[in-house]
Chain A
Amino acid sequence: MTETIHTKLLILGGGPGGYVAGIRAGQLGIDTVLVEGDRLGGTCLIRGCIPSKAIIHAASRFNEMTKAAAPGGAHGVKLAAPPTLDLAETVKWKDGVVGKLNGGVSALLKRAKVRVVSGWGTFTDAKTCVVGEVTIKAEQVILAAGSVPAALPHIPFGEDVISSTEALDLKALPSRLVVIGAGYIGMELGIAFRKLGCEVTIVEAQDRILPLYDLALTKPVKTWLEKNGVVLHLATKAVGFEHGALKVNKVGDVLSLPADKLLVTVGRAPRTQGWGLETMGIDLDGRFIKVDDRCQTSMKGVYAIGDLVGEPMLEHKAATQGHIVAEIVAGQNRRFDPAAIAAVCFTEPEIVSAGLLPDDPGGSGDDVISAVFPFQANGRALSMAAGDDGGFVRVLARKRDHKVLGLQAVGQHVSELSGGFALALEMGAVLEDIAGTIHVHPTLTEATHEAALRALGHAIHL
């Protein structure tokens, strides 16, 4: 039975960009249809942020218990026997978390009166999308098709060569895991599997880990890798994978790294194929869809958001764009013009960064004040054994008017500082604003306060 739906707004993709756009459009009373080929929630919810954080959490608990079972225990906590891991159970628990959130998104869309059409949507022109027997004709369109893991052409995915998606669904723990790519995905998963007891080797083509951040910020992570026996091959190129071993070229030497599973995390590519983009007459900008600051594509009435439109490929950017575009469709004046998009790495320890980094243009020099406050001098960090891994909070500010340009931290649990960092930057805070805000004791946020005080030349606890 064929059906034609006429709607005001069509959203392609039920990830965090698409479903937020859908809910907001529904709130604004816009007749909206959302097409999703998989489960609602997208990469983030189904096979990215959320499931990976669940696995990382389980791995950290397992790791702590392992420490407690070691001779001497950990701060007085001792286990008589080492813990055991049933990865299938862990994955099941993780699936439960994902299921709960997936159901939540579904309920939210329903409450917003958004019609969800399940199935693979293919556009036949810029305003017409075919999903199986259903044809949807829309006045306005939001493209939110997301991204897919990028593959290495000479080491295609399949069998033991896995992407982050499969890594989060493993039935059994590989004893030897090799990770290609020391970006945030490879680092997060590599560290988690190390905590779960795998032998982990990380191969990175550049000469450093987490190349998007500066050396100071990544040093505590590197130290953890070294202390915990993760083998790191920097400035090393993966050549090929055969007979259960990865051949790499490390400054001229060819090494063979045996691997039960090879995890390829060399970035993500926008999903610009397989849904009829080529029929829509939309301009690209490199591999991304070209949009203006209203997320408007070159085709009038067609918007694109999230991973489709460029870096950073982050959930919160996609969701913000979805929110804004729904309001634009409702006739409001909106622009995507953030002061900062904070980013977090759930490595060990965690890294959070908002705004300018020292290596960015304008991030250092005579015009910039940079001040660091170490968690070693923070009571809360010490009281949860998080003060000895080299972590710190850093603030960068403009010398002439003390405007805060960037805020970063590395240390356990620092991901939760990201909200404060982003807020400071969005509000256009100056150092005096942070210094004049009472930060709760005992919390890690005191380190932010102290970093600002130190930038002003008068830290108290240092």
Chain B
Amino acid sequence: MGRYVFKLPDVGEGTAEAEIVAWYVVVGQAVDEDQPLLDVMTDKATVEMTSPVAGRVTEVIGGLGEMAAVGSPIVVLEVEGAGNASEAAAPSPQPAKEDARPVETAAVAPTSTPAPSKPAHSEPSAAAAKTPVFPERSEGEKPLASPAVRRRAEDLGIRLTFVSGSGPAGRILHEDLDAFVASGGQTALATATASAYAQRTAVEAIKVIGLRRKIAERMQDAKRRIPHFAYIEEVDMTELEELRAHLNATYKQRGKLTVLPFLMRALAQVLPDFPQINARFDDDAGVVHRHAAVHIGVATQTASGLIVPVVKHAETLDLWAAAAEVARLSVAARDNKATSEELSGSTITITSLGPLGGIATTPVINSPEVAILGPNKIIERPVVRHGQVVVRKMMNLSASFDHRVVDGYDAAEFIQRIKGLLEHPATLFID
């Protein structure tokens, strides 16, 4: 029986630390090789960490939302055989957070360096060391617990099926029940079926961690640093919509086009004339980087929150290529498979809520960019054309700009140019 210390591997180039965003194991739990242990999140991606060995978890280091340095121990397992850390070689205190550049111990090195670990936790009890490794309950197996534990669980309204046991043979101890209660045991909360008019008193405390925390930080940062100004113009989309319908009917096999690729095309056309808008402002350095390439961030809603994959070099893509790239990236983003590369480097961002687009928005700039476009919904409206009231398909185009580096006049002209292209869609394709 040995100890195996699982250290946080290098999860991406240049990553020094990662945030713990989900735990899948608890102390006492038996894990198989390749079983997920936890999720960590780096600047751009969430990565699932799986166990390199089979064993029983004796220690987990770091709570949800805490940062773990690459190379720092995060899980200690009790394994058959020698493990990778001997008690004798046990570790001097070395708090994970101080260890910001642990490049030499980065990989999961099964031998070599002594495992850094908190000594207070690293002594498995004598009993634990002697008992065999016990697997978890198999499907449908009754949980093992003494009558007193079972009775307490009944009193607490807890089904022991949901509680993992740390005792011999996976027996559920009073301590396990305590831990389950302390953890909030979400599954134990009785979902009473009350009347629709019953008073609701529940308050749920949700820790802001992971992607949500990232979003919160970035939004706060953008709003604090950037003096936004918004500009909203209406665009007659009637002709573009006709063209779009025609293209979709004629070139079915190329895939369906939404408005987005047209807007991307318009940006690619217009931005060379507005270099101050296709830019990233490093305000700490006081430098605006104007980009020739048009890398368009496309704000995408995922299950865990908003993320912004980037269509690189939109200027090189025709309508369908742009549509395909957007589709590919949004699937990758929703499946949590977008790479760090695919999630960074945009020079301007489009945020569209499609049919939910409302009549106007004041989008928050995706810092350090300096502009963001938010097309609103297309709706048939009566408008006056040549003295006649006619029905046209109208869309508002909302936009926000960083007023530090974009003047109102330039922004207005920029939007007017886009409007012109969209209202005369043939011009989108004129060099």
Contact = CB atoms under 8 A, between A and B. Distances in A.
B147 A402 contact: no
Given A333-B154, A400-B135, A432-B131, A426 B146 contact: yes
A428 B167 contact: yes
Nearest to B159: A335
B170 A401 contact: yes
Contacts, number: 42
B131 A335 contact: no
Interface string A310-335: 00000000000000000000001111
Categorize the interface residue count of chain A.
Answer: 10 to 19
Interface in B73-122: none
Contacts of B135: 400-401
B171 interface: yes
A428 B145 contact: yes
B354 interface: no
B358 interface: no
Given A333-B154, A333-B155, A432-B131, A401 B169 contact: yes
Contacts of A335: 154
Interface string A391-423: 000000010111100000000000000000000
B314 to A, nearest CB: 59
A95 interface: no
Contacts of A438: none
A64 interface: no
A402 B130 CA distance: 13
Categorize the interface residue count of chain B.
Answer: 10 to 19
Contacts of B305: none
Contact of B155 (A332, A339, A401, A427): A332
B388 to A, nearest CB: 72
Contacts of B154: 332-335
B345 interface: no
A402 B168 contact: yes
A169 interface: no
A301 B22 CA distance: 44
Contact of A402 (B132, B142, B150): B132
Nearest to B144: A428
A366 interface: no
Interface string B127-147: 000011011000000101111
Contacts of B168: 401-403, 428, 430, 432-433
B169 A426 contact: no
Contacts of A428: 144-146, 167-169, 171
A427 B132 contact: no
A337 B131 contact: no
A333, A337, A428, A433: most-surrounded residue (chain B CB, <10 A) = A428
B157 interface: yes
Nearest to A335: B154
Contacts of A337: 150
A427 B146 contact: yes
B169 to A, nearest CB: 4
Contacts of B142: 339
B59 to A, nearest CB: 21
A129 to B, nearest CB: 30
Contacts of B150: 337
B145 A401 contact: no
A428 B145 CA distance: 6
Contacts of B147: 426-427
A426 B147 CA distance: 6
Given A333-B157, A428-B169, A401 B146 contact: no
Contacts of A403: 144, 168-169
A177 to B, nearest CB: 42
Interface in B275-329: none
Contacts of A432: 131, 168
A317 to B, nearest CB: 15
Nearest to A337: B150
A427 B144 CA distance: 8
B146 A430 contact: no
A349 B353 CA distance: 82
Interface string B161-203: 0000001111100000000000000000000000000000000
Nearest to A430: B168
A427 to B, nearest CB: 5
Contact of B169 (A332, A339, A402): A402
Contacts of A430: 168-169
Interface in A417-449: 426-428, 430, 432-433
Contacts of B145: 428
A366 to B, nearest CB: 16
Contacts of B132: 400-402
A427 B150 CA distance: 10
A398 B135 CA distance: 12
A327 to B, nearest CB: 10
Contacts of B131: 432
Contacts of B157: 333
Nearest to B171: A428
A335 B151 CA distance: 9
Interface in B223-252: none
A426 B150 CA distance: 10
B217 to A, nearest CB: 44
Interface in A226-280: none
A339 B145 CA distance: 9
A433 B146 CA distance: 13
A270 B155 CA distance: 32
Contacts of B167: 428
Contacts of A333: 154-155, 157
B142 to A, nearest CB: 8
Nearest to B155: A333
Nearest to A400: B135
Q: Which 4 A-B pairs have the closest CB atoms?
A: A428-B144, A403-B169, A401-B169, A428-B171
21 contacts: A332-B154, A332-B155, A333-B157, A334-B151, A398-B169, A400-B132, A401-B132, A401-B135, A402-B132, A403-B144, A403-B169, A426-B146, A426-B147, A427-B147, A428-B145, A428-B146, A428-B168, A428-B169, A428-B171, A432-B131, A432-B168
Given A400-B132, A428-B145, A428-B171, 7 more contacts: A333-B157, A334-B151, A334-B154, A400-B134, A400-B135, A401-B168, A432-B131
Interface of B: 131-132, 134-135, 142, 144-147, 150-151, 154-155, 157, 167-171
Interface of A: 332-335, 337, 339, 398, 400-403, 426-428, 430, 432-433
